[in-house]
Amino acid sequence: MTRATVAIDLSVLEENFRTIRDKVPHGVKMLCVVKADGYGHGAIQVARRLEAIGADYFGVATIEEAIELRNDAIRKPILVMGGLMPWDDTNTLWDYELTPVLADFAGLSRLARDAEKRKVTIKAHVKVDTGMGRLGFSLDEMEAVAEALQGARYIHVEGVMSHFASSEQQDAYGRSQIERFKNVVKYLGDRGVVPALLHMANSGAVCQYPEAYFGMVRLGIMLYGSYPDSSLAARIRVRPVMKLTSRIAYVKMFPPGSALSYGRTFVTQRDTKVACVALGYADGLPRALSNKGSILIHGRRCPMIGRVCMDWLLADVSELPDVEAGEEVILMGEAGGESITADEIAGHTGTIPYEILCGISKRISRVYV
């Protein structure tokens, strides 16, 4: 028996993958994003399952993340989406058969120079900033980009990509990004840079911008059963892959007027039965859930009371007469027709489900179902 467990249901991951794949046209490739340790789900285990069921490509943020996958015998192409950093060892790109994203001239020049020395061609994807305002070549740099690529005889431009600023909503800005992207692709094509793969659509755009599917889509948060925006749940139904549980360590009774936990932010108004649950913000449960969140015990919601601590949280279980120490508590998951999702937790804490999932601490053991 452990203090807390993160259960990852790989059959649900597979179900989500197939659900999204059925949404996009036949022939559109599926890049599965497994950066940040598979959004907290375990990149290796997630990639193994997705590779087995037909993922075409994997996306990571860093070379180190890509090497971890290769060392576990993941063979599908891996796109290093964070670009080529000044501190990166380019030798690893060839050694581990990785595909870098080129997002600036320093990275492009360095890769071209190193490829020329090796006399070995390397695949790369060129990133264009169509309005995200972060990584990628700007539109007014396209002439210089085309020139540089024409002179880089050992760089094979396999792909050109971009990123929506707010793919979860359909609007004129998103459509203008698509048009800019198309114009860039045509401009580069007219100058001999003709990539096999064009990709722009992430999870939100899979729901909102079918005209941006192009040759490949990038599946991130929806693979794991959450949404860029809760309104998208009506478009594609996916289920959470992660279940977070802990246990009740103590059950205590407090009379009216008792102040509970740090800061005395909760004072009992009646005789109150309190469960002390062995999980806190060091495990990734946001402190902002204090006096806001819920847990599930016996399939029923019980409110969190008082401040969430580093290793503990308190819950009012006065309505549950049979609660005992040692029993399981669900922090994220489903029981008895009730469910608590990362999306719900994010809503309570003013953040996004990505941060909730990625923030679940490594000190909680992962179990793969």
Do 259 and 114 lie in a common domain? no
Residue 346's CB is within 10 A of a number of other CB atoms, namely 20
Q: How far is CA 250 from CA 253, 323, 329, in A?
A: 10, 10, 12
Do 134 and 196 lie in a common domain? yes
The stretches of the chain forming alpha helices (DSSP H) are: 10-23, 35-39, 43-52, 63-71, 91-95, 105-118, 142-151, 172-190, 203-208, 342-349, 353-358
Do 254 and 166 lie in a common domain? no
Instruction: Express each pLDDT in 197-213 by its tens digit.
Output: 999 999 999 999 999 99
Q: Count up the domains in the chain and report the number.
A: 2
Overall pTM > 0.75 = yes
Do 271 and 197 lie in a common domain? no
Q: Which of 172-176, 334-338, 341-345 has the lowest mean pLDDT?
A: 334-338
Residue 103 reports pLDDT greater than 90: yes
In a domain, 1, yes or no: no
**Burial class for 141, CB neighbours closer than 10 Å (0-12, 13-18, 19+):** middle
In a domain, 253, yes or no: yes
3-state secondary structure of 301: strand
What CATH number corresponds to the domain at position 256? 2.40.37.10
Do 247 and 225 lie in a common domain? no
Question: 57: which strand partners?
Answer: 31
How far is the C-alpha of 142 from the C-alpha of 184, rounded, in Å? 7
Do 214 and 321 lie in a common domain? no
How far is the C-alpha of 6 from the C-alpha of 41, rounded, in Å? 9
Domain edge (last residue) among 234, 269, 299: 234
Do 76 and 163 lie in a common domain? yes
Instruction: Express each pLDDT in 286-335 by its tens digit.
Output: 999 999 999 999 999 999 999 999 999 999 999 998 999 999 999 999 99
3-state secondary structure of 308: coil
In a domain, 102, yes or no: yes
Average pLDDT, the chain: 96
How far is the C-alpha of 143 from the C-alpha of 164, rounded, in Å? 22
Residue 2: band (very low, low, confident or very high) from pLDDT cuts 50, 70, 90 = confident
What CATH number corresponds to the domain at position 91? 3.20.20.10
Angle at 188 between CA 182 and CA 192, to 5 degrees: 135
Do 200 and 316 lie in a common domain? no
- Tokens in use for 352? 């996004």
In a domain, 33, yes or no: yes
Residue type, 26: H
Do 113 and 167 lie in a common domain? yes
Q: Which residues are catalytic?
A: 35, 262
- The domain of 61 spans 10-234
